[in-house]
Amino acid sequence: MDQVNVGLCGLGTVGTGVVKLLQSHADEIKYKIGSEIRIKKILVHDIEKKRDVVIESDWLTNKPEDLVNNPDIDIIIEVMGGIEDTNLLLEQAIRNKKHIVTANKDLMAVYGQKLLRLAKENKCDILYDASVAGGIPIIRSLTEGLASDKIQKIMGIVNGTTNYILTKMTDHKLAYETVLKEAQALGFAESDPTSDVDGLDAARKMTLLANLAFKMEIGLDDVEVTGIRTISQEDITFATSLGYTIKLIGIAAIYEGKVEISVEPTLLPNDHPLAQVKNEYNAVYVYGEAVGETMFYGPGAGSMPTATAVVSDLMDVVKNIRLGITGNEYIIPQYEKQLKENNEKYMQYFIRMEVDDQAGTFQKITNIFTDEKVSFQKILQLPSNTEKLAEIVMITHKISKQQLINSRENLKGLDVVNEIISCYRVDGED
Ligand SMILES: NC(=O)c1ccc[n+]([C@@H]2O[C@H](COP(=O)([O-])OP(=O)(O)OC[C@H]3O[C@@H](n4cnc5c(N)ncnc54)[C@H](OP(=O)(O)O)[C@@H]3O)[C@@H](O)[C@H]2O)c1
């Protein structure tokens, strides 16, 4: 197998990086896998568009069949995005016995398990390391480097846009809307930022990691998702004064065979490694039963970092073809999905509320929490900007989510509580 032929779907940010990497690192790649990689066709929307990379005149096409039905092509690299049409295109390619490398977390979070099964039936590989945290080899680490361990918890900053926004809000004391506009101007946020700021992008990535780590078929609907839109400058100031940094954290954890998975604003102690991850960078903290704590840090997106992950996957496929071991047996779930109930999810919470500034208020509030057996690690009481009102900020000890829900419900019926302004998870202290 002196030569392996590739069809590339997409020549945008990532696709251009892939072509550049295959050209500039051709010797190293050939030396490591023993085969030359040749691009045969590139699928794009607009074949007339000027491209930022050197390509041969007959490469570009706007017809998917030129790739998926092309008998000369061994491997399809999908870096064009999209879900429904892209899924059909890849299904067709797999039926035609083509191996797949993709960077598409949107597709993998929705159709990943179906595609993996189809690929296995057809003895094809489908690798997707670039779909989570761009240039950080986190999927590769879970499936290879940590393969012998039992993963207990994954905690990560897997969305660069929201981390950029929260870093600027914290370090420069800017409002959410101001930073979002700046991020859009710099290209760190999309013109429609919904999927990033509402946590959906991070949720998709966390399902991919949880599926691999816990070997269960965990879907997007299983993730409890809260985005960052409601985080205010006041929340950040209170968190800072108590020694915490607010980050959008994806958490997937397993205990006695039951999984909890969420993406939500989370307060981390300032000295926690994830609290130090700034701007558009990503980081994933993995706790394994045997290995203990490990952390993976790096660029979560960008042309060349993401291309690095894509081409490394491509090289693995070539090695697997050579060894005759394509088909990804180990990626198919091993266990029935079991999710934790609210009374089994234990964590600390930051609760901020506006209350009447009068004698007895504090007692009434603490009575509600005492009834639910909720105790506190830290409490602050401060005058509010509004006359006759005060703000109370509390950090609970570890309580169940059900205790929190019950306490919040009972607080609503209390005349001295004007508003529960915010309530966030606190993690990273154990
Ligand atoms: N950008 C990153 O840093 C990053 C990081 C990790 C993962 N990803 C994932 O990688 C994928 C690609 O992202 P990107 O940023 O490179 O996207 P992009 O810059 O928008 O490029 C998309 C490319 O695909 C082509 N294309 C899109 N839909 C097509 C269709 N239906 N038929 C034919 N061609 C089509 C476009 O053609 P034209 O050039 O003719 O318009 C373009 O070349 C996405 O799944 C994304 O989530 C991206």
The domain total for the chain is 3
335 part of a folded domain: no
> Are 33 and 109 in the same domain?
yes
Catalytic residue among 41, 98, 120, 205: 205
> Are 110 and 257 in the same domain?
no
Share the mean pLDDT of the chain.
95
412 part of a folded domain: yes
- CATH number of residue 350's parent domain: 3.30.70.260
The atom of ligand 1 lying closest to the CA of 51 is: 39
> Are 226 and 254 in the same domain?
yes
Query: Which residues' Cβ are closer than 6 Å to ligand 1?
Result: 10-15, 43-46, 49, 62, 79-82, 85, 103-104, 130-131, 134, 301-302, 306
336 part of a folded domain: no
pLDDT value at residue 381: 86
Nearest residue (by CA) to ligand 1, atom 5, is 301
Q: Is the pLDDT of residue 386 over 80?
A: no
pLDDT band of 429, cuts 50, 70, 90: confident
pLDDT value at residue 197: 97
337 part of a folded domain: no
Q: Is the pLDDT of residue 415 over 70?
A: yes
Q: Is the pLDDT of residue 330 over 70?
A: no
Q: Is the pLDDT of residue 14 over 80?
A: yes
> Are 167 and 221 in the same domain?
yes
> Are 149 and 176 in the same domain?
yes
- CATH number of residue 107's parent domain: 3.40.50.720
> Are 286 and 350 in the same domain?
no
pLDDT value at residue 388: 83
The answer to whether 9 is annotated as binding is: yes
Instruction: Express each pLDDT in 217-261 by its tens digit.
Output: 999 999 999 999 999 999 999 999 999 999 999 999 999 999 999
Q: Is 205 a catalytic residue?
A: yes
> Are 153 and 8 in the same domain?
no
Nearest residue (by CA) to ligand 1, atom 30, is 45
pLDDT band of 33, cuts 50, 70, 90: very high
> Are 207 and 81 in the same domain?
no
The answer to whether 294 is annotated as binding is: no
pLDDT value at residue 161: 95
Q: Is the pLDDT of residue 337 over 70?
A: yes
Contact (Cβ atoms closer than 8 angstroms) between residue 266 and residue 427: yes
Mean pLDDT of 330-359: 92
Instruction: Express each pLDDT in 277-321 by its tens digit.
Output: 999 999 999 999 999 999 999 999 999 999 999 999 999 999 999
Q: Is the pLDDT of residue 163 over 90?
A: yes
338 part of a folded domain: no
Instruction: Express each pLDDT in 199-214 by its tens digit.
Output: 999 999 999 999 999 9
The atom of ligand 1 lying closest to the CA of 107 is: 45
Percent of the chain with pLDDT over 70: 99
> Are 373 and 309 in the same domain?
no
Spatial CB neighbours of 384, under 8 Å, sequence gap ≥ 6: 354, 357, 390, 391
User: For residue 180, what are the domain limits?
Assistant: 138-299
> Are 158 and 249 in the same domain?
yes
